[in-house]
Structure formats: structure tokens, C-alpha cells
Structure 1
């Protein structure tokens, strides 16, 4: 067997292919058909193990000649099929470098094989598809003989992609409209080529392959492979190609009608699992098409049918086509139900679909779906028609009951497990959290409509207490927070804010429990704002809840202040990022309407004993720095004409604006913090503020004049607009404008003078401080000089007797000069000095002697018989010793006398 393999390999490597080409093309022998066929059969026989890469050029030249001859002589068709049949075997290489060397030859050969699809022979066309499939899929392990091996699968797939075979096969479908078996083979090849290759998918889409495949997917086919293959190809194009391009090609009336007919047919008549799965695949493709706003789903009537199908079986249908349709509890039907609901979400983005929802009672069907424990026996028709279909379906009740069901413990028969819940159920470790997420999202959207009827109905159902209780459960939960939990809590806070805003009774219902919940959220660690789970949105919703649910209700405000809510707000303002300051400062401003709040604001102390006024002034400077307001190094006004102008106001061109529009100066008030900080200082006052530095005092001068400066800026805009429009005011108006401009300039000058006085005071204080420091340094140097001189004089007295006598004489004179000149009668003077001493110290008749150190005597309680004590050389207390000779000879002791 090994010898046979070697012989075959040798024959394949040494086949005389050029002679065969010459035989086919030679004018003398070109008419010898039998000889041609015999030579071609010998080539087929010699190449049974596959074609060598170096022979591919000659082989495909032979195939091309045979293809040309087969048009006039059908005898060449069979041998042509055999030559193409050998292409199913991986091409063989003799060296590792052959793959790179013959890459262009292989690519051209594969392209030529695709062009052979024009040959009107079913056998050849089917064999071409089969060979392409064999080349593209993993090959079986096979021994090809000594010295050769097959090319790698990656190499073959790359060259198939570069050859453009996918595009050629798709274009060939136009030639095969009446050849169903060949079309199925081509679709199978396209399915395999597009399964894992983005290049092939892009080639197919380049020639509008998605549209062409969809056109013919519903044509008659007893085997059902046509629809299956077409659907699989569309799936591959969506997975590996451009989804936008696929949906664009399918978004025309013809494709939508084909999808409609195919889906309806399988929805009504599909009974097998295969039919249900194919139906769901078509529904997913339809959903993706519906995401394209230009897709004519509504115009084709497909959207109406899909919305109607989405209400089955919750609502009874009078349509005879769907009257007997019954959905089972199988996975495919359950998946279809979720897909239909997802399609409803996609269609809801188009306002034209709202009418379809109303006609199909979509809201009622959805409410029936979310009603826990709903059964057929409880189903009943809706009551009399109301103004709102949402209210007609008692949707608020359904949502709140469903929300309560989501919060129940999963025990007993009420267990509910699952992860995900389809398209929209991502997040959460159980299905109930996912359900709760979308339930709260819907309730929030409905409440934010500000429909008094809906909001009143929600409050009547006890939603405020239910939602605050749900927030308390989240806070007490020991589970680790995720983005879903944070989103649910944020939606609850927004819902409560919308319900309680402007309604005193609802704020009272929010009550103590709501205040405690809000306080707990305000105690959030600022580091959590950057967790990526949505805590930044949660804290903003908390601020809005304080603003809407607490501010304005004195009972809640007092409780909020007792719980140190104002302190928590100021703590957050000190540490929060700039993007959140607007909401936080605005909330504090609203809370300052309560006089008790001002006491808390004045008592607050931040890091490094920072006071609230100092914090607000620091925020003012930081805001002006962000806005690009001109200030010098001390924070003083630089631009006298426009002291408050920001860089954004400078960038806006001067133009005439409508009467109802706001000017740039007025818009600036609403868009930054300065107006809010000014309003808070109006509550606190501008004098006798604690903890202010000199820089704060300079800033406070601007803050106190903010309203006047802003009014002047607005008048300047009015004057500039009049000049722009060419309007000349009347004389009284012109005089009024001049007076306003003059007073504004005087106000700015006054502020600058006040700031300059503070700066001068600072400079004087710095100068005085510098002088005091210099005096202290000079005094220190003087003391050092005196100390040095005293020491030198002391040393001189000990070494020079004359200096000592002079010092003694000076001392005696000094003592004598300090005594009284007049002595009382009977006065007796007793000298305290000893005559004859030549010292400058004060000596008396009593001699003070320093005592022997305690470590030598052993302390006051030690034995006083010192004659018998000896001192150890190593130190320590005296030790009693005997007078023997041996003791006297101890080398480490000394006798004390």
C-alpha cells in the first residue's frame, strides 16, 4: 500500500499537464474529442489525492478549456465535473513556503471556480458548491504520500475570502430561479461561508445580499430547506456583518411583506418545534427591522397583526384567523411572548403605533400580565370608557400590587426563581428584582406625566407609604448593592418627589419614615459617587426628594433639622463634585426659608474648622474661576465695566433677541451657583460672619453687591440692543440710562475701594507682623551678644586679678547706691558681707555644702557607720564588709576614710 501511495504521489507530481493543455488547444488536435476525454481522464486518475499548488494554474486552465467546450459538446461535462470534484480535496504543498508562494494562483483559481456557475449544468453547479463547502470546513486526517501535505484550514479560508467566492455565489442565484436543488446547494454554501467570516458577510451585503435572499425565502419548497437556509444566512449577516446595513436592506415593502407572510403562516399553522423555532427567528429579524424608523411595518399592516398577536391569550379575539390559536407552555411559545413584548417596546418609539395599541387594548393586556395570581376565571371586560385608557385598566392598582408581589419573600408556593427574564431582565440575582426594576420605571414615567388624575389615584392606593417602606427594606438589606438596586431606589425617590411636590397633604404622608430614609441616603460615603453603579444619580434624586417632599412642611423640616439634615447637606456640598453643587446648594437655599435652619448653618463646622460662610465664599471663587470671570491675584474686580461677565457671555455674539427670550445676563443667573449663594447670604447676613479670612472678605464685597452689579449688567445689554437695532431712546429715557450707567460705575468703584481698603489693611498687618518678627530677631541677636560679653568678662575675672578688683569695686558701689541715703534715728546696720574677700559672689557666714550623692550613701535610711563601708569600683551604694585579711585583699573595692 505504501508503494502504491508513493507511486500515486509521484505521478501526481510529474503529470504532463502542459501536454494536455497543448492537446486541447492545438488547432490540429482540437477536434479529437475522444483523445481529449481520454487524456482528461488520465489527469483525473493521476490527481486522485488532490492538486498540487504548483499545478493549480495548469489544472484550472484545463478546467476553463473544458468549460468552453462543454457549451457545444456535452461530452466534456462529465469529465469537467470530475475535475471540479477533485477540488473538494485540500490543495497539496511540497514545501512550507508553497502556501505563500502560490497564494495569488490559488486565489485566482478559486475565483475562476466561482465563475463556473454560469455553466448550464446542474451536476457541475452542485459539484462546485460541494467542493467549496469541503474546502471551507475542517478536513479529515488523511495520508497523501511522502513529500506532500495538505494546506491548512486557515490558509484555505483566508484565500476563499480574498477570492470573493461569497459574492460570486450570491450573484449566481439570479441564474438559478428554476433550479431549486442547485439553489439549495448555493444557499448551503453561503450559509457556511457566512457562519464565522465577517469578510464574506460584507461581500454578501455589498451586492445587497440580504434583500435578494429575503425576496425568495418564501417561495414554494416541499423540503422547507429554502426558508431555513435563508433565515440562517440572515442571522449570520446580523451576527458577523453590519446590522445597520442588514436592516436597511430589509426595510423595504417587498421584504417586509415576505416577512409578514412567512411569520403569519408559521404562527397560525406551525405545530412542530422546528416551526416554532423558525417563527421566533423570523420575529427577532422583524424586531431588528422595526428599529429602523424608515421600515414600513405600519404601512404594510404587519405591525397591526403583531400588536394583536401580543395580546393573545390575555384578551379574547373576534378574528376568525386567530380565534382558535392557543399558546402552550412550551419554551418556544414563552420565548415568542417575550419577543412580541419586546417588539411592542420597539414600536412604541413611533407615535403612529400608539393608535394601534389603543385599538388592540394593549395597555389592558399588559396590566393583566403584571397582575399577580391572575387566572382566566378572574378575567372580565373593562368598565365604562374613561378619559384615560391607563385609568380604565386600573393600571396603578395593578402596578402597586405587582410591586408588592415583587417584594414578597420567595417562600412556599410563592417561589419565583430565575435570572434575566429575557431581553430586558438583565441584572439582579433573581427574577423579582428584574421585574421590580421595570415596574418602578413604568410607575415613574406615569407619575412624571403630572396628570392630576393619575397621581391622585396613585396616592389613594397608599403608594407613598409603600414606596418609603420599600426604600427602608433596601437600606436594611445585607445584600451587596448592584446597578439594578441603585436604579430602583433612584426611581422610587423620583416618583416620591413628583407625587409630593406642591402638595402639603402628601408631604405629611411622607412623614417621619420618609425623613429617616432621606437622612440615611445623605449619609452616603462620597467615595461611592465614583463606584459606577449609579450612586451619583441616587444622591441627586435624594436632593430632589428633600426639596419636594420635606421643604415646605414645617413638621418634616423640623424633624429633618433634628436629624442633622442641614449638617449633612453642608458636608455633601463641601465634598461633592462641581456637577452636583447646583442641586445641593439650591436645596439648602430652599431649606433656609425656615429660620431654624440658619442656626444650624451658623453652627456647622467642616474640615479644619471651616464655617458655612467661608465654604460658600470658596465655592463662589471656584465658580468664577470655572466661568472665566476676570479677577486679580487678591480676588479683586479687574473689569470695571463688566465685573460679572463670564467667558461664555463673551463668546456669544451680540444680537437682538425676542421679547419672551432671556438675555445672556439673565440666563447666567439660572445656570450657575452665584445667584444661589447670594440668596443664602441674604438669609445669613453680610456682617459679623465667623471664620472669614481676608480673601473671604474681599469676595464678600462682590457677593453683597451681586444684585446691583447684575442689574447694571442687564441694563448694559438693553442699551447695547437698542444701539444694535438703531433705536434712539427719548430724552428722558436717555437721561435715565445715563443715570443708571453712572450709578453702576459708582457702585463698582465703591466695591473696588472697599476691596482695596481690605487689601491695604492686609498689607499693613503683614508689615506690622514683619516688623514684630524683625524686632524679635534683633532682640535675640542682642541677647546673644550680651551673653557672649558676659561670658568673656567672667573668664577675664578668673584670669586677671585687676579686672576682678574692678568688678568687686563696681559691685560694692552698685550695692551702696541702692541703699537709702538717710538713716533713721537709732538705726543699726549689720553688714552681711565678709570683709577681705576678693570675689564677686555674695558670701555669707553660713556655709552651704552639697550633700554626698545618695547612690554613695544608700539613702537617708542607710547605715551611717561609714568606717566599715567600702565603695565598689563599679558604683552603687556602700556595702558593709568585714575587717578580715581576705576582705582587704579584694581587688575591686576601696576603703572610705
Structure 2
């Protein structure tokens, strides 16, 4: 019989052929239909759906509690039914069944295998029948995930490892590619989000305590926590469960593979980056964590030879530095700080400590980075007085001076020339912090002589000029950072030392002028030009001002014009520094002609711009002035609204008052100081209103002296209440007279402002020349005629026109 199409034909084996004496017409054929079940591949397709509510009732029924074999068969059937993924609607019942089995697994280990099979299915994408199922079952899934994490309590290594593997599969994109007919898989992000909502990360951290002596289970769990720690929300949950302390304190658990240390350090890094940083650092400040970090770092430094070991060692050092910045005490108490100082200085200062006997830093990038991290650690430790003695015992100053020397022959040092120069910068910056705390060590090392010789060598080589010559079109962040660091170091070295300023010399001045000529558009480029400009101005203050030869050369190269150009840009965060430089340069008599000669945009003069800055400062402070800039509040002519709202804080007799302390960083005080050098009369470019403001500026010091008697004002407020009861009646009476006199003085000083306006108005009237020629100048604006100036003292005089011209008069040429 011919075979049917699509069905295989085969001989019927074991059946004898009919013996009819005739030759057979052909082989008999049997149609075979082979099912998946018979082939043993039934797992490829799900079986008929199960009513999970009935299954749950079976496990919850107390009368069927002992039917363990039947339970196991049903669990296997459930695993077989959902082999392609668990339906979202059935997940809560399945998790409840797993929890029931978890309570009985201690007595009946038969539950473990089918439980593992079902937990394995949780690593697959869940199946949804409708698009809305993800939102509909969101809270149910989150609660189920929370219960899934609680299964770690079951004392079964097999189950715990399977739970961790299934959770890790949440992050496996390959799992989401699986398709099932009639259903749609949930997205990869859905399960990750539900794990966050369900607080699974916190539950798993708490389960770490159960796995302290189970290496494989612990490694599996750390892998999951490493994945979880990439999320900000999970990091918050982990911090709540004290994850940093729990993980860090167990860094040195026995582990031949090294995975515990590696994964733990990665988790700590992620917690510091994504979690509540302060809370994490506080957890790591635990003394047990410090000891664990100490032992791990020393072991990696002395016995680690792989590239991986060096990287991990540096990671632990950065974590330790963050802890030290928060609190150095645990590092000092544990002895870790002493060891770190030893590792930072052993290359420069010979030590007999066995830890460094055979230790040598190689020309590897990781070793170079560690050296810089150790130098930075000394700066951090120097902030804690308890660590200063350790720096002294470790001969930190002597070690740092090993880099403050000329490197004329490349390659003579342990480090390549480029890296040695980089370390020189770090060492000098570290020395600037450590040396003031260890003055005796600094003097023993002849610190001043060494620094001066080094500075002289730098000047003779043009090293600074080469380093700063790159400021141009090819600026980059690293180059700008290096330039800023060099200028900061020079400022620190030359400040308050005339001899060092002389060594800075004309070449240094040329470099600073070159940097000051920066394009204004670059200042806010975001690369660091603003920082470089600030460091350059600081270097002008520290390296030039106070050295007459350098000041004269700076003026000769038109450096003052550049300073005034920058001041005209009105950079809020630099105006104070620029004005301070201007004030200091005004002590040099050669500066005044430069200031008076300078012209800015719209032909503005320095006095004009200074008056504009004064008005701007008063406007920001809320100082009360009328429309002409005249004093309104005679009692407090300099006090603004914001200052007035501040409470008066009583100060001890030996402390300066707030009015005095404010002068140090006050823009108005510096403007007043500049005008004191320039004078207050016959200044170019000022209008009538400018002179009104200038009259206030000229009396700035008097007003500040008045403000310094603020305490007497407080006394006068309580005069009526306490006068009858006080024994200091005469003193209070004198204070009151002083107060009244001060107010009268302010009112008297306001009159010249009005006089200034009127004298300017008279000058601007129509003028007739004696020779008979008429010269026309700009007339008084009609809106000012009959204005508030009519009520001044000069109003009683007979003048042709009341009011005054506020606009600049046009220059005219007299005709013969």
C-alpha cells in the first residue's frame, strides 16, 4: 500500500509474511503518528492549564498536609505546565505554594527539586494575555518578588543558588526573545522595576547573614546585588539594610577565587555613586570595615601581581580616601593611616619595615595612579590633628622634598620624565598643606633654600613658559587644569615673600599678561577657562604686587589696561578680585595715569565705570536712594534692605563689629579706596548724577564709622523703658546726643549732592558769549522743570530755570 503524503513508511517488523505460494506484490506499509510525548519532548509545549486555586487549596488544607508524594507530583506538573513562562495571573498562587513548601522543606527534602524547577521558571519572562496585564498585576508581582527573596531562608544550597540565578536572569536580554503562541512575554524592564518596587534588594542584603560560611551561595548572591546596585532606588534600599557595612566587613572571608573581594568592591563603588553617599560613608567608617579594607589593601599591594590586583587595590584606596575625608579617626585607631603614610614615602625615605622590604613600584599606570592617590591621602590626613604626628614620624616632609628639585637629566629618577614632573606638581601641592603643620621638619630640611633653588631652576629653564604656551585654539581640560595648578603653586610660594617675587621676574609677568589676554567668550566655555583666569589674577596679586620692578614692568606692558578691560566685562564672581588688584596697584604712583587714560566701550572712563559698579552694588543690596541717587535714609545711608532684615548679633568687646568685618570683602570699600587715589574732583566722563553718587562715595568712611555705633542705636531703642531704672543715665544721655549728632551730620552731607546737581544745571543753561556770538548747548529736559530739586536750599536763589540738565553737554567751539 502506498505511503500517505507527509507520513513516513516503514516495514512491519516481527510479523511473518503470508505464505500463499505467491510472490509478494510489495512490502506492507504502516502509517505511524508519533507524538511529542512519545518522543520524550513534552516539555517543549505547555500542557493543559491548571486551576492554581485548587492546587493552592490542596497545599493549604491541613488534612492533606502529609500527602508529600502527591504534593511533589503536583509541583512537577506545575513546572511542566509553565515550562515556557508563568502567567501573570497565576504568579501569586505559585509563590504562596513555594512559601508553604519552604516551611516544610526542613522535614521533607523531597520538596527541594520541584521547588528549584519552579523557581527556575521565575527567571523567564512572565506571560501576559492582554497588553494591560502588566499594569493590572503590578502590585501583585511586586509582592510576589518580595516573597521570592524570602525563600533564601530555606537551608538549601541548591535552592538558594537557583534563586540567585533566576533573579540574575532578570537582566539577561536573551530571555526576552522567547516567544509563546497565544501569549506575549513581559518586557525586560518590567521585572527589574517590579523587583525594585517589591524591595527585593533589601531582603537579599539581609539574607547575607545566612551565607557567611557558604562561599558558593555568597558569590551567587553578591552577583545579584552587583546587578541591583546599578539602580538608584535599589541602592537606597540596600543602604537601608546596612549593605555597605555588611559587605565591607566581610571582604577578607576565605575565597580562593577572589570573587568575593572583586564583587564586593564593585558593589561598594556603585553604592557610593548611586546611593546616599553620606550614609554609605558613615556605614563604612565602622572600625570593622576599616580593618577589612586595611587587610585587603595590604594583601593586594604586597602579594598582588596581576593587572586586576592593581586595579582593585586602587579602588580600595579611593574608597578609603572618601572615608578619611569624612572621618580620619578610625584610620588612625586601626593603624591604617600609619601604613598608608609608610607606603606613600618608602620610595623616598628608606624604611626597615617588613611590609616594604621587598616592595617596589613598577612603571605601570596603576602604580603611578596609586602614588598620586597616596600623596592625596597625606593631604586628607593632614586635616586631622591626630594624624599630624604620624606624618612627622613618617618623615613626610623629607619625602616630599625629594620631588622639589631639578630634573635636568630625563630618566635618572625611578619614574619616567613625564610622570616624574607630574608627581612634582602633586608633591609641591601636598607640601603646601603639610609643611605649615610640620614647621620644624620643614626647617630641618632647609625648606626655604630648596624651594628658592627649585623656583630659580624653573625660571632658568623657561619650564613655566613652555607649560603655559599651549593656551590657544587647542585648549583642553587637562591642559587648563595643569596651567591652573602651576599658577596656584606659584601664588602659594610667592605670597608674602619679596625675594620669590623677584625670582618670578619679567618672564613670569609676560606669561601672566599672555593668559590675561584670554578671549572673553572662552570664560564660560565649560572647559575651565574661568578657573584659569581666576588663578592668573591670583598670581598677579601674589607674584607681582609688592615687587616694584615687577609692578613697573607690568604697567609698561599695559597690564593695567587688561585689568581694566576685564573689570569692564562686569564679571560678578571676579569684580572683587579685580578691584582688589586695582587698589593695590594704586599704591604705585605710575598706575594713576594708566587708569585715567583708559577708555572702554562707548568711551567710558574708569571713574564712570566705578560709579556704575557702586550703583549696581547698592541696587543688589537694596539701599534706599531717590531717583537722583540722593540719600533717603539719613540714619543709615549705607544699609540695604537685606542687611536691615538681618538680626543684630551681640559681639564680644575684643571682636570687630559686623560693619568693620564687612569692609574686607565689600566692593564699595574697594571703589572708595580707588577714588581716594584718584580724587573726587575733576574726574573725566562723569555726569551730574554721577557726581551725586560720587558725593556719597566720598563720605563712605564716615558712614561706616557711624554704622559701627550700631550698639548705641540698640540702647536708644530701650531708652524710655529703662531710663528710670538705670544707673548709667549720664552715659546713655551722651549716647543719645551722639546719635542725634550723627543723624544731623548725614543730613548735612546730603546737601552737597543737591548743590552738585544745581551747579551742573546752571552750567548747562543757554549761554551768550560776550563777543555777541550765541553758542547753543543742550537745554534742560522739560520733564525736570519744576522737579523735586526746586525744594532744595538753592531754590531761594534766583536762577533762570529750575531743575537741571542730566544729559552730557555737547562740546562746542567758540567763534571769534
TM > 0.5 fold call: yes
Question: How far is the alpha carbon of 1:153 from its aligned partner?
Answer: 2.8
Hey, what does 2:657 align to over in structure 1?
663
Hey, what does 2:149 align to over in structure 1?
114
Larger Rg: 1
> Are positions 1:463 and 2:461 aligned together?
no
Change over 3 Å in CA distance of 1:60–1:541 after alignment to 2: closer
Equivalent residue for 1:311, pick from 334, 337, 345: 345
Hey, what does 1:480 align to over in structure 2?
474
Question: How far is the alpha carbon of 1:208 from its aligned partner?
Answer: 1.9
Following the alignment from structure 1 to structure 2, what is the Cα–Cα distance between the partners of residues 72 and 86? 25
The answer to whether the 8 A contact 1:440-1:491 is kept is: no
Change over 3 Å in CA distance of 1:434–1:708 after alignment to 2: same
Hey, what does 2:12 align to over in structure 1?
none
The within-5 A match list for 1:777-796 is: none
The answer to whether the 8 A contact 1:50-1:86 is kept is: yes
The within-5 A match list for 1:343-354 is: 343-354=377-388
Question: How far is the alpha carbon of 1:310 from its aligned partner?
Answer: 3.2
Q: Which runs of 5+ in 1 are unaligned?
A: 371-395, 418-430, 777-897
The answer to whether the 8 A contact 1:448-1:498 is kept is: no
Question: How far is the alpha carbon of 1:318 from its aligned partner?
Answer: 1.8
Change over 3 Å in CA distance of 1:247–1:583 after alignment to 2: closer
Change over 3 Å in CA distance of 1:580–1:721 after alignment to 2: farther
The within-5 A match list for 1:142-153 is: 146-148=181-183, 150-153=185-188
SS at match of 2:630: coil
The answer to whether the 8 A contact 1:447-1:455 is kept is: no
Hey, what does 1:360 align to over in structure 2?
394
The within-5 A match list for 1:65-214 is: 65-134=100-169, 136-139=171-174, 146-148=181-183, 150-177=185-212, 179-191=214-226, 193-194=227-228, 196-214=230-248
Following the alignment from structure 1 to structure 2, what is the Cα–Cα distance between the partners of residues 595 and 21? 98
Following the alignment from structure 2 to structure 1, what is the Cα–Cα distance between the partners of residues 206 and 706? 74
Hey, what does 1:577 align to over in structure 2?
571
> Are positions 1:759 and 2:752 aligned together?
no
The within-5 A match list for 1:856-895 is: none
The within-5 A match list for 1:195-594 is: 196-221=230-255, 224-270=258-304, 278-293=312-327, 296-328=330-362, 336-368=370-402, 370=403, 396=404, 398=405, 401=406, 438=426, 441-442=429-430, 454-455=447-448, 457-463=450-456, 466=459, 469-473=462-466, 476-477=469-470, 480-486=474-480, 488-489=482-483, 508-521=502-515, 523-533=517-527, 535-536=529-530, 555-577=549-571, 579-594=573-588
Following the alignment from structure 1 to structure 2, what is the Cα–Cα distance between the partners of residues 117 and 12? 30
SS at match of 1:298: helix
Larger RCO: 1 or 2 (CA < 8 Å, sep 6+): 2
SS at match of 2:331: coil
Following the alignment from structure 1 to structure 2, what is the Cα–Cα distance between the partners of residues 249 and 734? 62
Change over 3 Å in CA distance of 1:356–1:46 after alignment to 2: same
The answer to whether the 8 A contact 2:201-2:238 is kept is: yes
Following the alignment from structure 2 to structure 1, what is the Cα–Cα distance between the partners of residues 82 and 714? 93
The answer to whether the 8 A contact 2:44-2:83 is kept is: no
Change over 3 Å in CA distance of 1:667–1:479 after alignment to 2: same
SS at match of 1:307: helix
The within-5 A match list for 1:636-675 is: 636-647=630-641, 650-651=644-645, 657-667=651-661, 669-675=663-669
How much is the aligned-residue C-alpha RMSD, in angstroms?
4.9
Question: How far is the alpha carbon of 1:491 from its aligned partner?
Answer: 5.3
Bigger drift between 669-678 and 300-309 goes to 669-678
Following the alignment from structure 2 to structure 1, what is the Cα–Cα distance between the partners of residues 648 and 74? 90
Hey, what does 2:25 align to over in structure 1?
none
Question: How far is the alpha carbon of 1:117 from its aligned partner?
Answer: 3.4
Hey, what does 2:36 align to over in structure 1?
4
Following the alignment from structure 1 to structure 2, what is the Cα–Cα distance between the partners of residues 708 and 21? 90
Change over 3 Å in CA distance of 1:509–1:722 after alignment to 2: farther
Change over 3 Å in CA distance of 1:469–1:720 after alignment to 2: farther
SS at match of 1:297: helix
The answer to whether the 8 A contact 1:436-1:488 is kept is: no
Following the alignment from structure 1 to structure 2, what is the Cα–Cα distance between the partners of residues 775 and 241? 69
Question: How far is the alpha carbon of 1:251 from its aligned partner?
Answer: 1.9
Hey, what does 1:390 align to over in structure 2?
none
SS at match of 2:281: helix
Following the alignment from structure 2 to structure 1, what is the Cα–Cα distance between the partners of residues 338 and 399? 15
Bigger drift between 500-509 and 262-271 goes to 500-509
Following the alignment from structure 1 to structure 2, what is the Cα–Cα distance between the partners of residues 145 and 569? 74
The answer to whether the 8 A contact 1:23-1:29 is kept is: yes
The answer to whether the 8 A contact 1:433-1:484 is kept is: no
Q: Which runs of 5+ in 2 are unaligned?
A: 1-32, 720-725, 769-773, 780-816
Following the alignment from structure 1 to structure 2, what is the Cα–Cα distance between the partners of residues 561 and 680? 17
Change over 3 Å in CA distance of 1:279–1:614 after alignment to 2: closer
**1:44-75, CA deviations, whole angstroms, 9 ceiling, x for partnerless residues?**
55554454444444544544454455444444
The within-5 A match list for 1:713-862 is: 728=728, 751-764=749-762, 768=766
Following the alignment from structure 2 to structure 1, what is the Cα–Cα distance between the partners of residues 120 and 324? 44
Question: How far is the alpha carbon of 1:299 from its aligned partner?
Answer: 0.7
Counting matched residue pairs gives 725
**1:362-418, CA deviations, whole angstroms, 9 ceiling, x for partnerless residues?**
3444444x4xxxxxxxxxxxxxxxxxxxxxxxxx4x2xx25x78xx9x9xx99867x
Output the TM-score relative to the length of structure 2. Answer: 0.72
Following the alignment from structure 1 to structure 2, what is the Cα–Cα distance between the partners of residues 739 and 95? 87
Following the alignment from structure 2 to structure 1, what is the Cα–Cα distance between the partners of residues 79 and 617? 86
Following the alignment from structure 1 to structure 2, what is the Cα–Cα distance between the partners of residues 552 and 224? 60
The answer to whether the 8 A contact 1:9-1:146 is kept is: no
